[in-house]
Amino acid sequence: MKNLFFDIPPALQAAADKALEASQTAFQRIERITEYNQQKVLSAFIEHRVSESHFVPTTGYGYGDRGRDVLDEVFAQVMGAEDALVRHSIVSGTHAITIALFGVLRPGDVLLAATGTPYDTLLGVIGVGAHSDGSLKDYGVGYREVPFCNDRPDLEGIQRALRDEPAVKMVHIQRSRGYSLRPSLTVDEIGEIVRAVRAVREDVCIFVDNCYGEFVEETEPTAVGADLMAGSLIKNAGGGIAENGGYICGKARYVEQCSYRMTTPGLGREVGASLGHNRSLYMGLFHAPHVVGEALKTAVFAAALFGGFGYEVSPTPDEPRADIIQAVRLGDAPSLVAFCQGMQQGAPVDAFVVPEPWDMPGYDDQVIMAAGAFTAGASIELSADAPLREPFAAYMQGGLNFHSGKLGVMLAARSMIEKGVLSLE
């Protein structure tokens, strides 16, 4: 379709039309998953009799906050979990994961990362790297990891590590690729890891970092035996409406342990005033399946467009998707910077800002980030970011609606053309 408001070069418009046509089969698959998940969420709202009374703010200690408590029940049902904690006071996905790790692990225990080195911001929590004051390591929790083998979880290596280290209390699985080109894990692939772990040890807690993965498939990792999951509400599960927050869900005994870390032992989930946030958390969860579907369509289109230009993309347009992240391997720093600067031009907020690489807290390399969002840092809104290091891949995610997301992807390509790092001639 001809673009009426943005100066898109004809060759780029033609490439975009071709990419859109190539995306239709994947779009139909996404629509089926979206409809299933939307019905699942709606049925949970109806079953738990959600009403306007659940949006009433509480203050102070927050005792008897019905809206908060019912939201936990709704979220648990949607995620296929026994119990859940959904709180605006959880500041990020890393914070939610940290609560889960410290909630379950004790001095002398060992954390086993079954999917290689975790995402950068978690390294300080574990005690790997420079930023580790107050880490698990400081509290006497050990750490081991099993690297991927040929871009697949090393199931035999995981089992060997469990046999070699009887003190392993928790197995950590990162669903998303993070800043790497290894594939993100589908729910079925997580199930393979769960079965491999259970064949050796029945007593460990299997924890999944579920960030970027919620509502991408019809089921969540709890359906294949994960004991505990955590994620952020300014990613998928907040539907682009939640202004902050995070969640933890899974087996009730583990969620209760996490609640004592989230607040204090003995009080746990009984305290924590909602302060008027409940409405946006409910509404965000309700919208989440549809918004995730729009983000997935945007990712498929980006893969088709940049794959058509000859770049390595992961996943490819027709591959099954396990999260909302689309990686585009651009090959060098100028191309990466141009891509992110162009995507910023398609943001509804701060489109005039020119992103530059900077020393972002929690990262060892400079990071460039395009993120013009209504909620600062919301990865479910169209954004792209990456550390300036090999393989110089842009990690794109989000898109509150496909039509604006599609345009943002095209503007990323236009920026690369204007800066002379991409030629369509």
Residue 315 has a pLDDT of: 96
| DSSP-H helix ranges across 153-277 | 155-164, 187-198, 252-262
- Average pLDDT in the chain: 95
Specify burial of residue 28 (Cβ count, 10 A radius: 0-12, 13-18, 19+). exposed
pLDDT of residue 374: 95
Q: How far apart are CA 87 and CA 72, in angstroms?
A: 9
Tokens of 203: 């007593």
Distance CA 200, CA 205 (A): 13
**CATH hierarchy code of domain 53-285:** 3.40.640.10
Beta strands (DSSP E) in 282-425 are 312-314, 326-329, 367-370, 383-387, 393-397
Query: What pLDDT score does 402 carry?
Result: 98
> Is the distance from CB of 300 to CB of 27 less than 8 angstroms?
yes
Euclidean distance between CA atoms 148 and 154, whole angstroms: 6
How many residues are recorded in the chain? 425
Spatial contact of 169 and 109, defined as CB atoms under 8 Å apart? yes
The CA distance from 127 to 344, in Å, is: 34
pLDDT in tens, 284-313: 999 999 999 999 999 999 999 999 999 999
Task: Return left, alpha or beta for 297; rule: phi > 0 is left, psi -120 to 50 is alpha, else beta.
Answer: alpha
- Predicted model pTM: 0.95
User: How confident is the model over 241-248, as a mean pLDDT?
Assistant: 97
For 109-166, write each residue's pLDDT tens digit. Answer: 999 999 999 988 899 999 987 667 899 999 999 999 999 999 899 999 999 999 999 9
Range 10-38+289-418: architecture per CATH: Alpha-Beta Complex (3.90)
Count of other CB atoms within 10 angstroms of residue 348? 13
Beta carbons of 201 and 227 less than 8 angstroms apart:
no
The packing angle between helices 93-104 and 252-262, to 10°, is 110
Q: How confident is the model at residue 264 (pLDDT cuts 50, 70, 90)?
A: very high
- Cα–Cα nearest to 327, from 305, 302, 295: 302
Kindly tell me if the per-residue pLDDT of 26 is higher than 70: yes
Tell me the β-bridge partners of 143. Answer: 111
Q: Compute the distance between CA of residue 304 and CA of residue 319 in angstroms, rounded to an integer.
A: 11
Token readout for 376 is 């600062």
> pLDDT of 310-367, one tens digit each?
999 999 999 999 999 999 999 999 999 999 999 999 999 999 999 999 887 767 788 9
Tokens of 227: 């004991």
Asked if pLDDT for residue 31 goes beyond 80, the answer is: yes
What average pLDDT does the segment 163-172 reach? 97
Distance CA 159, CA 144 (A): 13
All structural domains of the chain with their residue ranges: 10-38+289-418, 53-285
Q: Do the Cβ atoms of 382 and 400 come closer than 8 Å?
A: yes
**Residue 309 CA: distances (Å) to CA of 154, 168, 298, 373, 411:** 33, 46, 17, 28, 14
Can you name the residues that pair with 142 across neighbouring β-strands?
110
Comparing CA positions, the residue from 24, 101, 26, 16 lying closest to residue 319 is 26
Q: Name the nearest CA neighbour of 232 among 33, 378, 68.
A: 378
Q: Give, as one character, the DSSP assignment of residue 149.
A: B
Give the count of beta carbons closer than 10 Å to the beta carbon of residue 398: 28
Cβ neighbors of 5 (< 8 A, separation 6 or more) are none
